[in-house]
Amino acid sequence: MNKIVIENLSLQYSDGTESLRDISLDIPEKAISVLFGPAGGGKSTLLRCLNRLNDLTEVKASSGQVLIDGVDILDPGTDVITLRRKVGMVFARPVVLPLSIRGNLTYGLELAGEKHRSKLDEAVERSLKLAALWDEVKDRLGDPAIALSGGQQQRLCLARSLALQPEIILLDEPTSGLDPISTGKVEAALQELKKEYTIILVPHSVQQAGRTADYAAFFLQGELIEYGEGKSLFTAPKEKRTEDYITGRFG
Amino acid sequence: MKNIFTRNRHRTERIGFAAITLMAIATVLPIVATVIYIIVKGAPAVSFEFLTDFPREGMRAGGILPAIIGTIYLTVGTAIFSVPLGIAAAIYLSEYAADSPLTRTIRIAIINLAGIPSVVYGLFGLGLFVLFLNFGTSILAASLTLSIMTLPVIISTAEESLRAVPQAFRTVSISLGATRWQTIRRIVLKEALPGILTGVILGLERAAGETAPILFTGAAFFLPRLPQSPFDATMALPYHLFVISTQVPEMPIQIQYGTALVLLVFVLTMNLIATVIRSRARAKRQW
């Protein structure tokens, strides 16, 4: 079942940087889809289309459709607030808000109007457990989030998106600044999460792409070169450029 | 040979270093000297009676209560107008306005506003608030005039503090389903608040010490009673100091210095509060 259907999506930023050229891509639900390729290929841009975070950037031109559950979210009439609650995002650098650990987790829910303490507590515990952080922080939820280690902060960011009970989680190189152990914890958490959530991951290395991908899409200079099941794409790529990149001949 | 060169270099460096240190000390001297001088000359005049009594005998005796109260009124009045307006303008410039000819014009206007001599503000206030809007010579007119003078300081420091808040906080907040305003209110303003407060206090401090802007708009030479409404004129410390220093013959000199001391303490206390807020926030800052 395809959660997201991208049809002929093109986009250009006003400052002439990264752009997308005629991307068509079906992203299945409850799986990890990996967008990989060299820097500047359009992976982050595509992610930012899916929760309309590109609205914050000056976009020169865009065309095409992005259907989530059959609804075109690029339509100007889309309620972006609701969309962003449904499509969570984790960024490359862990950015914890200047609040307590708990405050970070309840931030989105409180904005959404949730006032019941029991519901908030429940969300805090559930999301921390999902992000494999509960045992490490359960006794100090009131501490400033900034006091956590980098790896813990990134899992907190993951938990923060999960607290809103999204359906889709976008991860933009979530482990690029983390040590191997923390990276392992995040990847393990993702393997659990994919049972319930649709996950789109921009990995920070080809190796991570290979480890995590159920489906993989190779991007090069704004174009989608190849897309398919992770296993076959990494073992037997159809395109020469994909093969060259995977085997380390460029990028 | 080599040793001589190194020694010379060391000596040059030491001399240079000493010169710079001296200059740094020299910048502190005038303020220290002024403060000490005023304290020494003025302290004997300052007493409980001096702070709580009306001037008597043509201001040659008694206290300066109405001037103290008047300066407090004017400072509060200035804050009422300039703080909300200044912060709102800073939020607009930092958070909402795109870089356009309009915002560039606003910025240039603000910078130029800061460079206008204070007496010109006074004349402007006379024309607009006292005469055209018919507020008369009043606390209201004087506060509004001081507000205009204070605005550039508040706007520019507040804008700077807002811009110092990392962009990533905004992006993350938006990605969690916050609106721009929710992001500003719950994250950005909270983080920028100490910086904004510092700017506000420094701006108000300047307003509290100014004479020229209130000269034509709200300051009274002498009043036998405290102002009863915002439409009354008021005595104020800086103007009172000017009056008793230049306009009253046979003025006892310690009253002049006593008044100067009270004004100085008033302004320096505000400065100190600003410094404390700033250093506390710096110690607490997490980014």
Instruction: Give per-residue pLDDT as tens, B160-219.
Output: 999 999 999 999 999 999 999 999 999 999 999 999 998 999 899 999 989 999 999 988
Distance from C-alpha of A214 to C-alpha of A231, rounded to nearest angstrom: 7
Cα-based distances in Å from B115 to B106, B119, B149, B242 = 15, 12, 10, 23
**pLDDT confidence of residue B63:** 84
**pLDDT confidence of residue A105:** 95
Chain A residues with CB-CB distance to B177 below 8 A: 81-82, 84-85, 108, 111-112, 164
Of A91, A93, A98, the CB nearest to B286: A98
**pLDDT confidence of residue B121:** 94
Rounded to a whole number of angstroms, the distance from the CA of A25 to the nearest CA of chain B is 23
What DSSP line would sit under B237-252, residue for residue?
HHHHHHHHHHTSTT--
CATH topology of domain B70-237: MetI-like fold (1.10.3720)
Of B91, B76, B64, nearest in space to B183 by CA? B91
* Token pair recorded at residue B110: 């603000």
Chain B residues with CB-CB distance to A88 below 8 A: 175-176
**pLDDT confidence of residue A177:** 79
Q: Does the predicted model carry a pTM greater than 0.80?
A: yes
Q: Read off the pLDDT of residues B57-81 as tens digits, 9 standing for 90 and up.
A: 888 888 888 999 999 999 999 999 9
**pLDDT confidence of residue B6:** 63
Chain A residues with CB-CB distance to B286 below 8 A: 98, 144, 146
Q: Read off the pLDDT of residues B110-119 as tens digits, 9 standing for 90 and up.
A: 888 888 999 9
Structural domains of chain A, ranges and CATH numbers in brackets: 2-246 (3.40.50.300)
**pLDDT confidence of residue A159:** 93
The terminus-to-terminus CA distance of chain B in angstroms comes to 51
A52–chain B Cβ distance below 8 A for any pair: no
Whether the pLDDT of residue B7 is over 70: the answer is no
Rounded to a whole number of angstroms, the distance from the CA of B88 to the nearest CA of chain A is 21
* Token pair recorded at residue B126: 């006379």
**pLDDT confidence of residue A34:** 94
Best A48, A78, A93, A107 member to test B by mutation, with max B CBs in 10 Å, is: A107
* Token pair recorded at residue A113: 């109007």
Cα-based distances in Å from A136 to A61, A125, B24 = 46, 12, 50
Does A98 contact B187 at a Cβ distance shorter than 8 Å? yes
Q: What burial class does residue A153 get, using C-beta atoms within 10 Å of its C-beta: 0-12 exposed, 13-18 middle, 19+ buried?
A: buried
Query: Could you tell me the sign of the dihedral formed by the alpha carbons of A108, A112, A116, A118, in that order?
Result: negative
**pLDDT confidence of residue B131:** 93
Interface residue ranges in chain B relative to chain A, Cβ cutoff 8 Å: 166, 168-179, 182, 186-187, 190-191, 286-287
**pLDDT confidence of residue B286:** 58
Q: What burial class does residue B94 get, using C-beta atoms within 10 Å of its C-beta: 0-12 exposed, 13-18 middle, 19+ buried?
A: buried
Best A50, A56, A87 member to test B by mutation, with max B CBs in 10 Å, is: A56
Domains of chain B, by residue range, sit at 70-237
Given a cut of 70, the residues of chain A with pLDDT beneath it are 18, 251
Q: Read off the pLDDT of residues A99-142 as tens digits, 9 standing for 90 and up.
A: 999 999 999 999 998 889 999 999 999 999 988 899 999 999 99
Whether the pLDDT of residue B1 is over 60: the answer is no
Whether the pLDDT of residue B5 is over 80: the answer is no
Q: How is the beta sheet containing A59-68 ordered, strand by strand? A: A19-28, A2-13, A59-68, A71-72
Exposure letters A236-245 (e unless 16+ CB within 10 A, then b): ebeeebbbeb
Does A95 contact B177 at a Cβ distance shorter than 8 Å? no
Q: Are B170 and B147 in contact (CB under 8 A)?
A: no
Whether the pLDDT of residue B3 is over 70: the answer is no
Distance from C-alpha of B182 to C-alpha of A143, rounded to nearest angstrom: 23
Does B177 contact A93 at a Cβ distance shorter than 8 Å? no
Does A98 contact B191 at a Cβ distance shorter than 8 Å? yes
Cα atoms in the Cβ-side hemisphere of radius 13 Å centred on A171? 34
> Average pLDDT of B213-232?
87
Distance from C-alpha of B250 to C-alpha of B16, rounded to nearest angstrom: 51
A28–chain B Cβ distance below 8 A for any pair: no
Q: Read off the pLDDT of residues B8-50 as tens digits, 9 standing for 90 and up.
A: 778 888 999 999 999 999 999 998 999 999 999 999 888 888 8
* B119, amino acid identity: V
**pLDDT confidence of residue A114:** 87
A57–chain B Cβ distance below 8 A for any pair: no
Best B100, B172, B285 member to test A by mutation, with max A CBs in 10 Å, is: B172
Q: Which residue of A has its CA nearest to B185?
A: A111
